[in-house]
């Protein structure tokens, strides 16, 4: 009999600040309907000057270590596309900040927003080889586009930490997976740029093509049929994209694309993404957190996951919700992570958007802004300095 492996715990973190889309719309003269209805976004998380993927990742992971201890964690896989170093894995800073054992392997993984799903699947492979170990998967990203560009309204930032092991308390991840890769230039960020380059409309087409391709492969691998799923967690660069994707999948499978049916399958997965914005690698798992936190009892029900990363790679897979999962959720803490953010006005947001530590190798401190447990205090001799409160 195959062993049950999956997500044993899940914790989220987001930023100190938030910008409502009403403020962006008032500044650039956009009808708010375009943001609230057209792309399905209400607000975006904005990092403080002393927050980054490491502080967000450590904030998400610390409660998992507090609940389960460190003894069984032998691997940390940190997935991100807003990497802070070309060589050193961001997860090593997190490893130190949250006090993991030196007997740990730590790596960073990248393939745009898809990276966390690769991390989850690699974690499952490691646990299958050594069922005594747990793997800490951290997805952490800051999504940044040029000011005054069409992508600006889809920015955001968040981290999700997941503990992967045998006999999971939340979601058992199933075989098979449906896979899809295509060499497209829909969204990319060359090493010399802070903000991503994107062909917005091409990226929507590329995403839809990947939904179709990964579903087709999932079926060929002997996956479940569409009507077995209780809900679908899509990658949500903006929440309306999940609706476009599901409509596309229903059409492709020859099903009716009734609005209420789509809303029932997706509605509860969008609550966190709609107020956080695009969190790249974390996005699909924020969708899972929102679903588990809000839906009526999902015990024994299969959930479909569609993970998409520009460039592009996609994977469709299923997870089954485990009996008793509600006792292990972090619903209150998840909501608090979102509700504690302080609203910034448009001018403050622009200042934060432009903030950057100098790259001259000198000593530079960040203003103390975050009230979270970890901060990026500054940089000295090209070395980032993190502090724990
Ligand atoms: P845009 O071109 O300015 O917007 O930016 P638009 O004109 O296409 O309008 C958007 C929607 O709002 C349309 O709805 C309009 O009709 C509607 P649709 O036709 O698509 O259903 N609209 C209104 N609705 C109600 N009231 C109104 C109103 N006005 C207009 N008054 C775009 C949109 C997505 C292109 C832009 O935000 C962008 O470039 N975003 C970044 C790219 C992106 O998110 N792509 C998604 C797929 S790729 C992906 O998911 C990967 C990614 O996460 C990166 C990674 O993998 O690493 C991005």
Give per-residue pLDDT as tens, 305-325. 999 999 999 999 999 999 999
Residue 194's pLDDT is what?
86
Residue 113 a catalytic site member? yes
- Our count of domains for the chain comes to 1
Nearest-atom index, ligand 1, CA of 36: 25
Question: Can you tell me the mean pLDDT for 118-129?
Answer: 98
Distances (CA, A) of 137 to 83, 108, 163: 16, 10, 6
Is 214 touching ligand 1 by the criterion CB < 6 Å?
A: no
Residue 2's pLDDT is what?
80
Report residue 195's pLDDT band, with 50, 70 and 90 as the boundaries: confident
Is 234 touching ligand 1 by the criterion CB < 6 Å?
A: no
> Residue 46 above 70 pLDDT?
yes
Q: What is the C-alpha separation between 215 and 161, in angstroms, rounded? A: 26
Q: What is the C-alpha separation between 215 and 84, in angstroms, rounded? A: 34
Please, what is the average pLDDT of the chain?
A: 97
Residue 65's pLDDT is what?
98
Q: Choose from 182-196, 248-262, 317-331 the range with maximum mean pLDDT.
A: 317-331
Is 44 touching ligand 1 by the criterion CB < 6 Å?
A: no
User: Domain with 106 in it: what CATH number?
Assistant: 3.40.47.10
Is 199 touching ligand 1 by the criterion CB < 6 Å?
A: no
Distances (CA, A) of 239 to 11, 201, 215, 284, 330: 20, 15, 20, 11, 22
Q: Which domain does 384 fall in, by range? A: 5-388
pLDDT digits (tens, 9 = 90+) for 76-88: 999 999 999 999 9
Query: Ligand 1 center to residue 151 CA distance, Å?
Result: 8
Q: Active site residue: 81, 108, 174, 212, which one?
A: 81
Nearest-atom index, ligand 1, CA of 32: 31
Flag whether the ipTM exceeds 0.95: yes
> Residue 39 above 90 pLDDT?
yes
Q: Where are the alpha helices (DSSP H) in the chain?
A: 21-28, 32-33, 53-68, 90-97, 115-129, 200-220, 239-252, 259-266, 273-276, 283-294, 331-339, 346-354
Please state whether the peptide bond connecting residue 176 to the residue before it is cis, i.e. omega within 30 degrees of 0. Answer: yes
> Residue 1 above 80 pLDDT?
no
Question: Could you tell me if 375 and 386 are in contact, meaning their C-beta atoms sit under 8 angstroms apart?
Answer: yes
Residue 235 a catalytic site member? yes
């Amino acid at each position: 009999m195959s062993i049950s492996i999956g997500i044993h715990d899940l914790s989220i973190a987001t930023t100190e600040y938030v910008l409502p889309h009403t403020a962006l719309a008032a500044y650039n003269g956009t009808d708010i309907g375009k943001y609230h209805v057209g792309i399905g976004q209400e607000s975006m998380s904005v990092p403080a000057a002393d927050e980054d993927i490491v502080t967000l990742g450590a904030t998400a992971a610390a409660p998992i270590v507090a609940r389960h201890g460190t003894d069984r964690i032998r691997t940390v896989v940190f997935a991100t596309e807003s990497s802070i170093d070309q060589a050193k894995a961001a997860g090593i800073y997190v490893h130190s900040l949250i006090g993991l054992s030196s007997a740990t392997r730590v790596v960073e993984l990248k393939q745009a927003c898809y990276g966390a799903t690769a991390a989850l699947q690699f974690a499952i492979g490691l646990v299958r080889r050594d069922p005594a170990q747990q793997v800490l998967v951290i997805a952490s990203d800051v999504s940044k586009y040029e000011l005054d560009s069409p992508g600006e309204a889809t920015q955001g930032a968040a981290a999700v930490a997941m503990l992967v092991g045998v006999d999971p308390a939340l979601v058992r991840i199933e075989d098979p997976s449906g896979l899809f890769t295509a060499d497209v230039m829909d969204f990319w960020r060359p090493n010399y740029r802070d903000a991503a380059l994107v062909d917005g409309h091409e990226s929507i087409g590329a995403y839809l093509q990947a939904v179709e391709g990964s579903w087709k492969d999932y079926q060929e691998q002997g996956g479940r049929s569409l009507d077995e799923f209780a809900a679908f967690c899509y990658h949500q660069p903006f929440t309306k994209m999940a609706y476009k994707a599901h409509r596309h999948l229903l059409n492709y499978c020859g099903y009716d694309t009734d609005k209420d049916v789509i809303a029932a399958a997706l509605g509860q997965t969008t609550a966190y993404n709609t107020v956080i914005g695009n969190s790249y690698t974390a996005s699909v798992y924020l969708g899972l957190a929102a679903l588990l936190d809000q839906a009526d009892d999902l015990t024994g029900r299969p959930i479909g996951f569609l993970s998409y990363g520009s460039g592009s790679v996609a994977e469709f897979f299923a997870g089954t919700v485990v009996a008793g999962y509600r006792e292990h959720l972090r619903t209150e803490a998840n909501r608090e992570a979102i509700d504690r953010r302080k609203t910034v006005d448009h001018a403050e947001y622009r200042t934060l958007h432009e903030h950057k530590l100098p790259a001259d190798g000198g000593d530079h401190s960040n203003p103390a802004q975050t009230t979270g447990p970890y901060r990026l205090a500054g940089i000295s001799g090209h070395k980032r300095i993190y502090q724990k409160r």
